[in-house]
Amino acid sequence: MRLSRQGTSRIFPVFVIGLFGITILSGLLGTLLPSMNYLPVIGHKHVSLSVWFDFFSYPGIKTSILVTLFSGLTASFGVVIFVFLFITFSYGNALWKIFEKILSPVLSIPHAAFAIGFGFLIAPSGWLIRMVSPGLTGFVYPPDWSILNDPAGISLAIALVIKEFPFLIMVTMGALGQLDIEKTLLAGRALGYKKEQIWLKILIPRLYPHLRLSIFAIIAYSLSVVDMAIILGPSSPPPLAVLILKWFNDPDMSFKLIAAAGSLFLFFVVVLSVLLVYLIERSACFVSESWITNGKRHSFSARFKSIVFFMGVCIIGFTMVSSVVLVVWSLTWQWRFPDFLPAVWTLKFWAKGLVSSFDPVMTTMFTGMAAAFIGLILTIGCLEHDVNFQTNHIMQGKAQNNNKTLYYFLYLPLLVPQITFMAGIQLLLVIMKIDGYWIALMWSHLLFVLPYMFISLSATYRAFDRRLTDQAMLLGRPYMIVLFRIKLPMLLRPILFSFAIGFAVSVAQYIPTILVGAGRFSTITTQVVNIASGSDRRAIAVYALIQQFLPMIIYALAIILPKILYYNKKGMQV
């Protein structure tokens, strides 16, 4: 007898599919109709294409589109190529093991906090310039360089690569468990191939299908990012997603129609970009077939390996140092260029920041905790159904059949630009007069929390040894007792880490809070983005660190709680 109650657990995937499907479709519909000049609530009752003409004739719109395409696609291709190279040359070595240990803290850093720290590093008066001035540069004043908020969006693209790299590595680590890495490497080496060739010719092609949806999600995010684009992107004109948000917040209601058209256009840009990547993938399969099977055993040069290693170190370094520079600025009273460290230190700005951020922090905590808790219940329910689904197929002698439908629906909020369907949802909520309620805000966060929790927990949950629960069932224990007394306690550590990831995702949400919250709810993220354009770096650093500390506290609890609960059970702490 196996731990299997497929009929009972079916309610979870059905609920998730319904929740995600109806929400996304409603949001797209709420965007489509205003883009066709149909929004009766403000007097537009006749369908026409005039809104699209207004959108394409808006001053600077072509530049906004080009900046969006350049930064988004450059970041997407860059992170995918670098992740594959990093795995190829670093899997199993010291750098890989270091990255495994620091992956969770790195993932917990919100995008806005990282963008601010990264900006403090690369700015003309930033820490990197201070490190070499005036000795190597001769600068006694900050140079007049367009590094930060550059017109082409290069700094934004680099920051996106650094921030999305850990996410794709996390997904890759989960997917690697489905490949027999060691046996493949041994077989390849026995045939005379180097480790790098085995990865590129055999393992990477087998790994890519498991990463395809995550790569598409990175493309969608990079093209439609708002908070990082506000902080690091150009401002005149801004990237398209930032411009769309500006239109939505404009007091002139007619701009909401143009914003809807822009949101729909951004959706088409993402779809076309995904199709382009899919075509490149198909072409690469065709072109590389002869290279994979040519039998040549050439190796890469040591210089190329060193470059990949150096880039990996830079990823880790920029992420960590961006947090360090925030700490330094938050404690600064006087720091003149080109001094490496402040001349006078103070806690004054922390005292002010902790008081003024209390309400946004409480809103962030309650919303994040609620979204992560509900997301955890839905994630465990869906995974339990998925495991039971596989078990029943095996018991009936059928081939293993993955429940792909749920997986695709879970990825929908990550594949569709946030501002596209969230803008439509906002309009529908306004029409129904239910906008600005906390439950709607929490629900909008849940849409993005649940996919990340599912991704982070699925590999470990599916790998659980079912013989342990089978034995308890054979001894006459009911299904629910076995689930809550044996299986979930043994999976406590990955469950808590999944909860921490869900909370961190909720903390980082900007667009849902701005649009669905209707301006009635202020979270630490909205506060960070709002003050990021200010001139006082010390106040900005304090708010960014507060935003960064919240998910880190939950991650710390996820590490400490299993050690406390299982202090006399060493095996349960692994």
What are 217-253's pLDDT values in tens digits?
A: 999 999 999 999 999 999 888 999 999 999 988 888 8
Question: Is 375 or 181 the better-scoring residue by pLDDT?
Answer: 375
179-203 CB burial, b ≥16 within 10 A, e <16: eebeeebeebeeeebebbbbbbbbb
Rounded alpha-carbon distances, angstroms, from residue 172 to 4, 120, 146, 165, 402: 29, 30, 35, 10, 18
Question: Is 370 or 39 the better-scoring residue by pLDDT?
Answer: 370
Question: Is 343 or 427 the better-scoring residue by pLDDT?
Answer: 343
Distance CA 246, CA 243 (A): 5
In three-state secondary structure terms, 149 is coil
pLDDT at 1 over 60: no
Averaged pLDDT for residues 465-486 = 84
In three-state secondary structure terms, 334 is strand
pLDDT at 574 over 70: no
For 200-249, give the DSSP string.
IIIIHHHHHHHHHHHHHHHHHHHHH--HHHHHHS--SSPPHHHHHHHHHT
pLDDT of residue 429: 80
Contact 238, 61 (CB under 8 A): no
For the chain, the average pLDDT equals 86
Among 58, 40, 4, which residue's Cα sits nearest to residue 390? 4
pLDDT of residue 39: 79
pLDDT at 205 over 50: yes
- 491: which DSSP letter? T
Assign domain 6-573 one CATH number from 1.10.287.130, 3.40.50.300, 1.10.3720.10, 1.20.1250.20.
1.10.3720.10
- 398: which DSSP letter? P
SS (H, E, C) 417-470: CHHHHHHHHHHHHHHCCCCCCHHHHHHHHHHHHHHHHHHHHHHHHHCCCHHHHH
pLDDT at 374 over 80: yes
pLDDT at 155 over 80: yes
* Residues with Cβ within 8 Å of residue 230, at least 6 apart in sequence: 238, 242, 529, 532, 533
End-to-end alpha-carbon separation of the chain, Å? Answer: 28
pLDDT of residue 455: 86
- Of 51-65, 285-299, 458-472, 538-552, where does mean pLDDT reach its minimum? 285-299
Averaged pLDDT for residues 454-479 = 84
pLDDT at 7 over 80: no
Averaged pLDDT for residues 116-134 = 90
pLDDT at 544 over 80: yes
Phi/psi of residue 333, nearest 5 degrees: -110, -40
pLDDT at 367 over 90: yes
Render pLDDT for 156-203 as a digit per residue (tens, 0 to 9): 999 999 999 999 998 898 888 778 888 888 888 888 888 888 888 888
pLDDT of residue 146: 82
Contact 277, 215 (CB under 8 A): yes
Instruction: Break the chain into its structural domains and give their ranges.
Output: 6-573
Among 396, 447, 399, which residue's Cα sits nearest to residue 420? 447
Render pLDDT for 518-535 as a digit per residue (tens, 0 to 9): 778 899 999 999 888 776
Per-residue confidence band for 362, with pLDDT thresholds at 50, 70 and 90: very high
- Of 328-337, 540-549, 565-574, where does mean pLDDT reach its minimum? 565-574
pLDDT of residue 399: 47
Distance CA 347, CA 353 (A): 10
Render pLDDT for 11-66 as a digit per residue (tens, 0 to 9): 888 888 888 888 888 888 888 888 888 877 777 778 888 899 999 999 999 999 99
- Per DSSP (E only), the strands in 118-243 are none
Averaged pLDDT for residues 503-527 = 89
pLDDT of residue 48: 86
Maximum separation of any 2 CA atoms in the chain, in Å: 79
Token pair for residue 283?
Answer: 């072409």
Q: What percent of the chain has pLDDT over 70?
A: 94
pLDDT of residue 59: 92
Tally the residues of the chain. Answer: 574
Instruction: Indicate the burial class of 474 (C-beta count within 10 angstroms; 0-12, 13-18, 19 or more).
Output: exposed
Among 93, 423, 119, 73, which residue's Cα sits nearest to residue 247? 423
Rounded alpha-carbon distances, angstroms, from residue 246 to 221, 250, 251: 18, 6, 10
Averaged pLDDT for residues 497-514 = 92
Distance CA 441, CA 231 (A): 24
Contact 352, 539 (CB under 8 A): yes
Token pair for residue 101?
Answer: 């240990």
Contact 100, 214 (CB under 8 A): no
pLDDT of residue 467: 83
pLDDT of residue 309: 84
pLDDT of residue 435: 76
